[in-house]
């Protein structure tokens, strides 16, 4: 649900208190249900990648949860975490290369 909205908005939607959204997403990365963790991992990866240079505060909040999920007991959650980190790194690298050029 959140992931679809992020794609539609082409980035994080504007909230009055964006920190609450970041905290909610960071909390969902540690949910007890693997399906929710997997969806939160995917949403976090999309949100940070689409945020570009403005995604620093979000990245700081979700990166520990993404790394934590790399060691999850469910293969789907581990795979989603690895894919999210790969997307984030590719996005950061693209922004760095654009900045240097």
Q: How many domains does the chain have?
A: 1
**Residue-level pLDDT at 96:** 75
Question: What gap in Å lies between CA 2 and CA 39, rounded to an integer?
Answer: 9
pLDDT tens, residue by residue, 72-86: 999 999 999 999 999
Question: pLDDT grade, residue 1 (50/70/90)?
Answer: low
**Residue-level pLDDT at 16:** 65
pLDDT tens, residue by residue, 60-70: 899 999 999 99
Those residues whose C-beta lies under 8 Å from the C-beta of residue 84, and which sit 6 or more positions away, are 41, 42, 44, 45, 46, 48, 66
Full residue range of the structural domain in which residue 49 is found: 2-100
Those residues whose C-beta lies under 8 Å from the C-beta of residue 5, and which sit 6 or more positions away, are 13
Q: What is the CA radius of gyration of the chain?
A: 13
pTM recorded for the entire structure: 0.77
**Residue-level pLDDT at 91:** 86
**Residue-level pLDDT at 82:** 97
**Length of the chain (residues):** 101
Cite the DSSP H helix spans in 1-101. 2-9, 18-28, 34-51, 56-69, 75-100
Cα 60 to the center of its chain, rounded Å: 10
Please state the rounded mean pLDDT for residues 3-18. Answer: 62
pLDDT tens, residue by residue, 13-27: 565 677 788 888 999
């Amino acid at each position: 649900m959140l992931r679809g909205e992020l794609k539609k908005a082409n980035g994080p939607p504007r909230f009055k208190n964006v920190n609450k959204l970041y905290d909610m997403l960071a909390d969902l990365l540690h949910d007890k249900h693997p399906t929710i963790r997997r969806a939160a991992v995917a949403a976090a990866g999309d949100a940070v990648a689409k945020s570009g240079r403005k995604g620093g505060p979000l990245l700081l909040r979700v990166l520990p949860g993404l790394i934590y999920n790399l060691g999850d007991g469910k293969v789907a959650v581990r795979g989603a975490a690895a894919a999210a980190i790969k997307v984030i790194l590719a996005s950061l690298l693209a922004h760095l290369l654009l900045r240097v050029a």
